Structure 1
Amino acid sequence: MFNVLTRVVTASQLAGLRKFCIKTAESRVKSSYTNAKIGQPTFETHSHLLSEGEITPLITRNEYQLRRSNLVQSLLTSAAKNGQPRKNHLIVIPAASKQYMSDKIPYVFRQNTDFLYLVGCQEPDCCLVITISDTGVHDSILFTRDKDEHAELWDGPRTHPEDAAAFFSVDQSLPMKELEKFLHSFKKSHKDSILWYDFMTPIHQNLHNIIVGFMAEFGNKKWENPKSLLHHLRLYKSPAEIALLQKACDITAQAFIETMSCSKPGIGENQLFAKVDYECRMRGADFLAYPPVVAGGNRATIIHYINNNQLVHENEMVLMDAGCEYHGYASDVTRTWPVNGKFTAEQRQIYEVVYCVHQELIELCGKFPSLDTLFESMCFLLGKRLQENGLLGIQPSNAYLMKAAYQLCPHHVSHYLGMDIHDTPSVSRSTKIEPGMVITIEPGIYVNAKSKLLPKEYRGLGIRIEDDVLITVNGPVVLSRKCPKHIDEIEKIVSGGSL
């Protein structure tokens, strides 16, 4: 018989006990991978990039676990809305594979964004599988590359299956060679199950072939695409994601300032390309987020000009569309400036029209319109401002002004921004924007040599202003606000002055 000693535990003592338990648990997790070889930066190897508890910079294990839980909940909610009875589900999200520019020479590796969002794993040839029982219980299984001393001698360490579960905080980790066997085992045990996999845009060909064979063998056509569910989750940014996007924009802004300041007549577009790339990387960016547009003179009227191999002459402008990727999050900024530091009268007039419309569209974001509504507003406002400047003549029809503006600006005014430049593309642009979303605002005017809409002295002018905007309950926040865009600021920087 035992004597039981009972005493009251105070709230502070209970809080202390909880902290002790959490710290002990975290310590056990940490000790299980501290001495292991992990195939990406960790707090132990890159303390200048990561804090303790983070899998990737600013993104913690808890956040990655929450993302997977949110995906499961979103899937179950979607199934319930569609009147589906409770079933077992199998979600398969592959990592990207290495791509080669020539024999044994790889391109810079970039992870499949959806896989990175859910796991934080930056290695190729891996796969995340999430199983969901008919009771709603789910498990995350990460398949990683097995040990290969020869390959690791050439390419560096990889995260072995026995170490991956603890580091990435998943329920189980297995070698990739076990994936096909695992899928068959799950199907035999759960015959009435639904596979969630993106058959439309295969990311990893070898894994895709396995999935196709797996489906053919069982003759089961019950599958769904998880992309729209994932993109809806990715559309709303967490505080950590916003901080990463803000940093990407700050880096890009300073790189633009440095690039503007070195501009001069006769400079090569390739030199400006190199400068903005260098300045971004020197400030911590991984690389440029996309091939930049560096268009001098009339080449600025070519929307996706990326040759960047001409010289920029006296009295010409440079249109630069560039952004960096910072630990998985992208910026996307466009500025246009005179290479000699002084706008001509025609350049100034068109620039001021674009600048005015740009500011009006940012203000309009506070009313939470859709991106398509913003585009319609851009067309009307551009036409109206050009008319007010006497450049389109007096026309009684707003429809005419919008049609004319669309001919002068044939691209959309906005897209979602996040881990990808054109982020969450499965989300319709007719969706009303909401707090937590990040979008671009990018009106422009392009008067090519064949245009008859504006007087001939304006032909060859191409101007765009683009910023990255966070939507909040208190109104829009311009993340790229540190990148100068007012005429006076631009002329001062390019002419050699400082702000």
Structure 2
Amino acid sequence: MKYQNIEKELFINHRINFNKHLKNNALAIFNSNDEFPRSGDQNFPFKQNCDLFYLTGIDQENTILLLYPDCPNPLYREVLFLRQTNEQIKVWEGHKYTQAMAESVSGIKKVYWIEDFDHILHSIITYADHIYLNTNENDSSAHTIAYRDIRFIGDMKAKYPLHHYERAAPIMRKLRASKSAGEIQLIQKACDITRDAFIRVLKFTKPEVTEYEIEAEIIHEFIRQRATGHAYPPIIASGNNANILHYGDNNQICKDNELILMDFGAEYANYNADLSRTIPVNGRFTARQKSVYKAVLHVMKEAKKLMKPGISGNDYNEKAGELMTEQLVGLKLISMEEVKKQNSGYPAYRKYFMHGISHHLGLDVHDFANRYTPFQEGNLMTCEPGIYIPAEGFGIRLENNILLTADGNIDLMANIPIEAEEIEEIMNSSTL
């Protein structure tokens, strides 16, 4: 791992909080993610299961966490199982956790090799009444592949069919939605790295550079500052490419008088930043571009004020839609007559702003949370309004990461340039 060591207390506290939600005499098991083959002799880069990392800090394949707070044998109330390293693995793959290292990272005192899992589990599972197993219940996407957790559930039910099986995911959904102080520090680090990459891009960009050259500047800064890499595939969308919401080719030349919509973020210690900015290729917005830009920025500033603990997602989105409608009317993109006749299921503003304005952020870019629960203190969310105008050849999106607290919002990206004039000033100052 490139990132610096994380204090183990973060993961110890996460396990304590998780255990509080278990039924009496319950056992919980969490697995690492699969390794996925890329070709005949390569795997894709390994990405740890977010829930396992949340509870342990262990960033390695072939790992299992077993929690059994009421276990009659105190040795097995909290156990970590690892892939056993050896000289061949050391030569070919390098770093793997030793048992002592895993204890230092996770705070778990009982660390065994993965080969010991079956017989240790069998020695205690008959004393448990409930078994909590994990699956990916993030409703942002559906998974059709029988990943490790799904296969593990089948194995467990075949071996131990008469236990009461429970879902760990509802507990994780509740816990992960509210960020601890340690998590906020890691996300702030990701945001700070993202800021430096954006400043680098501002000083680099000029007419005739390519989208992929901008992407290269971003990853250069990420890796230089110990980020794992991109939090998600970056969008570097010049001109009309900005009107493709998930544009990812990043292979076009950036032309004079065009805008570039950039959506990127650093991943640091498995925690993510998520930034969107739109800049002029030549360092100066046209009058029309600037008027649309300022409309988007106005919606963002006002929407941030709405993000308070207690407001429901429906109310928040409805009010954000009203803000956007007002700006689109002012820009003469829609008329009040269209607004009056609009379909409530598809408001007029959706023609130019077709995606959601916010999502939770954390270990997942679209983080694990209950979209039907009112906003709560400790939620970390994006705010990302946009206006997309294919007929005029550009789209504008702006996005910051916002922490909700009882005393008001904290913008973790408040130090990243966003005012049009500030962007122009930096782009026309000295280059790298």
TM-score, normalized by length of structure 1?
0.78
Paired residue type of 2:352: L
Per-residue CA distance 1:247-266 (angstroms, 9 max, x = gap): 21111112111102211111
Per-residue CA distance 1:100-125 (angstroms, 9 max, x = gap): 32233232222111101101111111
Indicate the residue corresponding to 1:466 in structure 2. Answer: 399
Is this contact kept in 2: 1:467–1:478, CA < 8 A?
A: yes
Is this contact kept in 1: 2:339–2:347, CA < 8 A?
A: no
Flag the 1:207–1:125 CA change in 2: closer, same or farther, 3 A.
farther
Query: Which one of the candidate residues 167, 185, 194 is aligned to 1:243?
Result: 185
| 2:168 is the counterpart of 1:226 | yes
Quote the Cα distance in structure 2 between the aligned partners of 1:70 and 1:203: 30
Greater relative contact order, per chain length (Cα 8 Å cut-off, separation 6+): 2
Indicate the residue corresponding to 1:94 in structure 2. Answer: 31
Flag the 1:162–1:273 CA change in 2: closer, same or farther, 3 A.
closer
Flag the 1:179–1:208 CA change in 2: closer, same or farther, 3 A.
farther
Quote the Cα distance in structure 1 between the aligned partners of 2:338 and 2:101: 70
Quote the Cα distance in structure 2 between the aligned partners of 1:194 and 1:134: 12
Is this contact kept in 1: 2:132–2:168, CA < 8 A?
A: no
**Superposed displacement of residue 422, structure 1:** 0.8
Flag the 1:347–1:199 CA change in 2: closer, same or farther, 3 A.
closer
> Where in structure 2 are the equivalents of 1:175-214 lying within 5 Å?
175-190=113-128, 192-198=129-135, 205=147, 208-214=150-156
Indicate the residue corresponding to 1:148 in structure 2. Answer: 86
Indicate the residue corresponding to 2:58 in structure 1. Answer: 121
Per-residue CA distance 1:10-61 (angstroms, 9 max, x = gap): xxxxxxxxxxxxxxxxxxxxxxxxxxxxxx68xxxxxxx65xxxxx33xx22
Indicate the residue corresponding to 1:476 in structure 2. Answer: 409
| 2:13 is the counterpart of 1:66 | yes
**Superposed displacement of residue 99, structure 1:** 2.6
Flag the 1:417–1:199 CA change in 2: closer, same or farther, 3 A.
closer
Query: Which one of the candidate residues 22, 43, 52 is aligned to 1:75?
Result: 22
Quote the Cα distance in structure 2 between the aligned partners of 1:265 and 1:255: 19
Three-state SS of the structure 1 residue aligned to 2:68 is strand
Indicate the residue corresponding to 2:360 in structure 1. Answer: 416
Is this contact kept in 1: 2:66–2:78, CA < 8 A?
A: yes
Query: Which one of the candidate residues 335, 339, 342 is aligned to 2:277?
Result: 335
Per-residue CA distance 1:140-173 (angstroms, 9 max, x = gap): 1111112432122211242244764465322422
| 2:47 is the counterpart of 1:110 | yes
Quote the Cα distance in structure 1 between the aligned partners of 2:424 and 2:99: 56
Flag the 1:198–1:220 CA change in 2: closer, same or farther, 3 A.
farther
Flag the 1:178–1:204 CA change in 2: closer, same or farther, 3 A.
farther
Indicate the residue corresponding to 2:329 in structure 1. Answer: 387
Three-state SS of the structure 2 residue aligned to 1:185 is helix
**Superposed displacement of residue 359, structure 1:** 0.6
Per-residue CA distance 1:390-426 (angstroms, 9 max, x = gap): 33223385673971212211111001111221111xx
Flag the 1:345–1:207 CA change in 2: closer, same or farther, 3 A.
closer
Question: More displaced, 166-175 or 477-486?
Answer: 166-175
Is this contact kept in 2: 1:125–1:145, CA < 8 A?
A: yes
Is this contact kept in 1: 2:56–2:105, CA < 8 A?
A: no
Indicate the residue corresponding to 1:305 in structure 2. Answer: 247
Quote the Cα distance in structure 2 between the aligned partners of 1:331 and 1:157: 27
**Superposed displacement of residue 479, structure 1:** 0.6
**Superposed displacement of residue 207, structure 1:** 6.7
Indicate the residue corresponding to 1:316 in structure 2. Answer: 258
| 2:102 is the counterpart of 1:133 | no
Flag the 1:355–1:466 CA change in 2: closer, same or farther, 3 A.
same
Flag the 1:205–1:152 CA change in 2: closer, same or farther, 3 A.
farther
Quote the Cα distance in structure 1 between the aligned partners of 2:107 and 2:309: 40
Indicate the residue corresponding to 1:347 in structure 2. Answer: 289
Quote the Cα distance in structure 2 between the aligned partners of 1:218 and 1:258: 56
Three-state SS of the structure 1 residue aligned to 2:212 is helix
Is this contact kept in 2: 1:298–1:462, CA < 8 A?
A: yes
Aligned length in residues: 423
Quote the Cα distance in structure 2 between the aligned partners of 1:391 and 1:105: 50
Indicate the residue corresponding to 1:34 in structure 2. Answer: none
Quote the Cα distance in structure 2 between the aligned partners of 1:395 and 1:183: 67
**Superposed displacement of residue 357, structure 1:** 0.6
Indicate the residue corresponding to 2:349 in structure 1. Answer: 405
Is this contact kept in 2: 1:371–1:414, CA < 8 A?
A: no
**Superposed displacement of residue 206, structure 1:** 5.8
Is this contact kept in 2: 1:143–1:161, CA < 8 A?
A: no
Paired residue type of 2:15: R
Is this contact kept in 1: 2:173–2:370, CA < 8 A?
A: no
Quote the Cα distance in structure 1 between the aligned partners of 2:148 and 2:118: 11
Is this contact kept in 2: 1:95–1:115, CA < 8 A?
A: yes
Flag the 1:368–1:251 CA change in 2: closer, same or farther, 3 A.
farther
Quote the Cα distance in structure 2 between the aligned partners of 1:430 and 1:214: 32
Paired residue type of 1:124: E
Query: Which one of the candidate residues 436, 439, 442 is aligned to 2:378?
Result: 436
Three-state SS of the structure 2 residue aligned to 1:75 is coil
**Larger radius of gyration between Structure 1 and Structure 2:** 1
Paired residue type of 1:64: F
Question: More displaced, 108-117 or 202-211?
Answer: 202-211
Paired residue type of 1:187: I
Is this contact kept in 2: 1:256–1:276, CA < 8 A?
A: yes
Flag the 1:398–1:257 CA change in 2: closer, same or farther, 3 A.
farther
Indicate the residue corresponding to 2:140 in structure 1. Answer: none
Query: Which one of the candidate residues 409, 427, 432 is aligned to 1:494?
Result: 427
Flag the 1:111–1:395 CA change in 2: closer, same or farther, 3 A.
same
Quote the Cα distance in structure 2 between the aligned partners of 1:358 and 1:385: 11
TM-score, normalized by length of structure 2?
0.90
**Superposed displacement of residue 220, structure 1:** 3.0
